[in-house]
């Protein structure tokens, strides 16, 4: 299991010494990720207070678009 913290608060965290993870802007809070078939499909929920979530397998970041439907 990854040691990456998953409950960070606030703005997007720094990505460290490596390249920035792939980022996708989405219009729904519930998203799925399969790492382009490199890992099992997982469903992720974007927390209302944060506005983004990262996949625990591939670090792809999903950011909720401004003005997106919150429901």
pLDDT in tens, 24-61: 999 999 999 999 899 999 999 999 999 999 999 999 99
pLDDT top residue among 15 and 35: 35
DSSP, collapsed to helix, strand or coil, labels residue 44 as: strand
Class of domain 23-63: mainly beta
Question: At 53, which helix (H) or strand (E)?
Answer: strand 52-54
For residue 35, how many C-alpha atoms fall within 13 Å in the half-sphere facing its CB? 12
Across 4-29, average pLDDT: 70
Report the C-alpha gap between 71 and 38 in whole angstroms.
Answer: 30
Query: What is the predicted pLDDT for the residue at 2?
Result: 46
């Amino acid at each position: 299991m990854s040691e990456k913290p998953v409950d960070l608060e606030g703005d997007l965290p720094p990505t460290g010494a490596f390249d920035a993870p792939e980022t996708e802007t989405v219009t729904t809070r519930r998203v799925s990720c399969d790492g382009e078939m490199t890992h099992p499909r997982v469903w992720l929920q974007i927390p209302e207070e944060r506005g983004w979530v990262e996949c625990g397998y591939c670090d792809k970041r999903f950011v909720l678009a401004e003005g997106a439907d919150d429901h």
